[in-house]
């Protein structure tokens, strides 16, 4: 039996491939196909999906009574497939996908830490998210665990017993960096093993900004959940809010006004441009090219001030709401953006020419932090990290959602062993593409309402959201309970896959190049530390 036949045999069991029958209730998870399999086949499904060429894109658990529903998101040529299975809370044992997908390593450990589901053949049993905050038998995402904890434990013990990989040999030294850093970045621990300045191994330990997002989402209404989603990662507030709202809107079957959809896309592209401007300057600053840092920081500040003027917030937080958007500046106010875009393009033309023909900058960026295409594929790298290493996936292009379904979205891809220079080049191209998209959106901006009322969701109504954020694909799962209250919220930031890639790209580089490699990736600590 071929791999395709094995998958097809399961698919043939479904009357409607977009419907999941759960606890006697059929619910839709379109646009994803849903494939329910037996728990004992979970590991084989991962093996076959990998051989078939699917990208592994996330895993989460949802407790309902005395059972867990386990879900795994896969993507193949723009189509989404969700594997699902069921486990008893009393015996939560499941095969791991990590032997076939390195990308599954940390997400599975997160599920094990939070829900107590044991992945039997997982190669790494160390805590990932929990650190020392809970006892061994406590699992915060189980229904019987209170959101405030069982009792005040006092000061949480330091997480100083994490077993980092040790490299032995003459001349090998160990360099701990973090979790508290000299700058204003969020906390994360990086443990280097090096000979001289050459890195033999880098291992991360994250989770220091764990906020309990999945737990504190329970019991919220749709508007409160959208506000929470916008705070998962502040630099992606538009994209995370949109993904959460899209999931809720699909769950209740509401369609949005055309003007609201266009304005959401405008917000998302403005968010993309603002972050790329900031990061290009920061990459240059990390190798001592302060001129570019000043110039791109200035352009980003001008851009964000305009966002605050038009949408009431520099980061455009809380503008995306269930059913549409909260703020419409009006067509006349938005007309100023055409002039902004002309001025920005003119300045970028000069600055990009400098960046592409500056010998001292090339000396530090070319060949630094290389991520091979095969490694990027294994880790499921998304956004500019993946595209600089030959991975072309973009939700706006491959599984387009309104209003991108009627736009032509160019995906810049560099088929080389993506280095820091390549990741910066992709960002530069994405800024120009985003400016073109905003211009198209403004030309076609329809009149009309900007929001629709959300109907009360049915019990167990479920939905998924897939949005192309500036770091790449953001995925969200939502399930409603009684009276329209959330009973499960799972957001997956693309940083889950770019952080492990950073470890790989540092091999054989020198320790002083870590800051620029790290900035070229710029994974979100907060987005990963749910």
Summarised one tens digit per residue, pLDDT across range 24-81 is: 444 458 888 888 888 998 999 899 899 889 999 999 999 988 999 999 999 998 999 9
| Residues contacting 284, CB < 8 A, separation 6+ | 290, 291, 292, 293, 296, 355, 361
pLDDT class of 153 with cuts at 50, 70, 90: low
DSSP per residue, 463-480: EEEEEEETTEEEEEEEEE
Residue 493 lies in a domain: no
Tell me, what's the pLDDT at 417?
A: 74
Tell me, what's the pLDDT at 419?
A: 96
HSE at residue 58, side-chain half, CA atoms within 13 A, is 25
Residue 277 lies in a domain: no
Residue 145 CB coordination number (10 Å)? 17
Residue 43 lies in a domain: yes
- Identify which has the larger pLDDT, 166 or 323: 323
The number of domains in the chain is: 1
The three-state secondary structure class of 181 is: coil
Tell me, what's the pLDDT at 215?
A: 95
* Range picked from 26-35, 122-131, 140-149, 391-400 for highest mean pLDDT: 391-400
CA distance 79 to 208: 34
Tell me, what's the pLDDT at 131?
A: 79
CA distance 101 to 75: 13
pLDDT class of 2 with cuts at 50, 70, 90: very low
Tell me, what's the pLDDT at 408?
A: 93
pLDDT, tens digit (0-9, with 9 covering 90-100), for 251-269: 999 999 999 999 999 999 9
**Cβ(25)–Cβ(53) under 8 Å?**
no
Length of the chain as a residue count: 530
Is the pLDDT at 1 greater than 70? The verdict is: no
Residue 61 lies in a domain: yes
- Identify which has the larger pLDDT, 125 or 159: 125
**Cβ(314)–Cβ(220) under 8 Å?**
no
Tell me, what's the pLDDT at 370?
A: 97
In sequence order, which ranges of 286-372 are alpha helices (DSSP H)? Answer: 290-311, 331-334, 336-356, 359-365
Tell me, what's the pLDDT at 67?
A: 92
pLDDT class of 182 with cuts at 50, 70, 90: confident
CA distance 66 to 390: 44
Residue 141 lies in a domain: no
Question: Which residue is it, tokens 């006349």?
Answer: 332
Is the pLDDT at 13 greater than 90? The verdict is: no
Residue 26 lies in a domain: yes
**Cβ(286)–Cβ(441) under 8 Å?**
no
Structural domain harbouring 110: 3-119
CA distance 151 to 226: 29
Residue 43 parent element (H or E): helix 42-52
pLDDT class of 21 with cuts at 50, 70, 90: very low
- Identify which has the larger pLDDT, 197 or 29: 197
Residue 269 parent element (H or E): helix 258-285
Residue 32 lies in a domain: yes
Token pair recorded at residue 324: 């549409």
CATH number at residue 18: 3.30.460.80
SS3 content of the chain, % helix, strand, coil (to 5): 40, 20, 40
Task: Specify which residues 226 forms β-bridges with.
Answer: none
Is the pLDDT at 16 greater than 50? The verdict is: no
HSE at residue 264, side-chain half, CA atoms within 13 A, is 30
Residue 63 lies in a domain: yes
Tell me, what's the pLDDT at 33?
A: 85
The three-state secondary structure class of 409 is: coil
């Amino acid at each position: 039996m071929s791999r395709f036949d094995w998958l097809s045999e399961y698919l043939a069991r479904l009357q409607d491939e977009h419907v999941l029958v759960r606890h006697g209730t059929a619910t839709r998870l379109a646009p994803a196909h849903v494939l329910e399999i037996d728990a004992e086949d979970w590991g084989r499904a991962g093996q076959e999906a990998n051989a078939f060429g699917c990208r592994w894109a996330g895993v989460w658990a949802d407790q309902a009574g005395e059972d867990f529903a386990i879900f795994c998101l896969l993507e193949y040529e723009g189509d989404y497939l969700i594997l699902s299975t069921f486990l008893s809370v009393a015996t939560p044992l499941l095969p791991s996908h990590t032997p076939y997908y390195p990308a599954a390593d940390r997400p599975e450990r997160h599920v094990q830490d939070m829900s107590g589901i044991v992945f039997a053949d997982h190669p790494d049993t160390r805590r990932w998210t929990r650190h020392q905050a809970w006892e061994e038998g406590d699992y915060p995402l189980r229904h019987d665990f209170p959101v405030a904890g069982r009792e005040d434990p006092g000061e949480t013990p330091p997480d100083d017993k994490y077993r980092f990989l040790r490299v032995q040999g003459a001349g090998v030294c160990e360099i701990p960096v973090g979790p508290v850093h000299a700058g204003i970045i969020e906390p994360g621990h990086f443990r280097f093993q090096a000979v001289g300045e050459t890195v033999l191994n880098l291992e991360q330990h994250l989770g220091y900004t764990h906020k309990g997002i999945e737990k504190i989402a329970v019991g919220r209404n749709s508007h409160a959940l959208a506000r929470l989603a916008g705070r998962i990662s502040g630099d992606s507030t538009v994209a995370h809010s949109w993904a959460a709202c899209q999931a809720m809107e699909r769950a209740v079957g509401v369609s949005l006004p055309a003007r609201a959809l266009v304005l959401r896309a405008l917000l998302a592209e403005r968010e993309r441009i603002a972050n790329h401007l900031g990061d290009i300057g920061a990459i240059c600053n990390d190798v001592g090219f302060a001129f570019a840092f000043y110039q791109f920081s200035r352009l980003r500040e001008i851009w964000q001030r305009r966002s605050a003027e038009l949408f009431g917030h520099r980061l455009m937080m809380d503008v995306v709401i269930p059913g549409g958007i909260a703020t419409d500046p009006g067509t006349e106010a938005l007309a100023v953006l055409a002039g902004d875009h002309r001025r920005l393009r003119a300045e970028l033309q000069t600055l990009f020419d400098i960046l592409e023909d500056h010998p001292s900058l090339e000396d530090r960026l070319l060949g630094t932090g290389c991520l091979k295409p095969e490694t990027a594929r294994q880790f499921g790298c998304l956004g500019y990290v993946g595209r600089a290493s030959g991975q072309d996936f973009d939700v706006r292009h491959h599984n387009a959602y309104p209003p991108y379904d009627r736009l032509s979205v160019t995906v810049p891809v560099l088929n080389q062993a993506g280095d820091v220079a390549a990741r910066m080049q992709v960002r530069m191209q994405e800024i120009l593409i985003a400016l073109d998209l905003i211009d198209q959106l403004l030309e076609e901006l329809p009149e009309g309402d900007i929001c629709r009322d959300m109907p009360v969701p049915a019990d167990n109504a479920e939905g998924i959201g897939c949005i192309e954020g500036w770091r790449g694909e953001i995925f969200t799962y939502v399930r409603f309970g009684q009276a329209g209250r959330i009973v499960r919220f799972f957001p997956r930031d693309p940083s889950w896959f770019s952080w492990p890639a950073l470890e790989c790209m540092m091999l054989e580089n020198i320790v002083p190049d870590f800051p620029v490699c790290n900035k070229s990736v710029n994974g979100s600590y907060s987005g990963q530390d749910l």
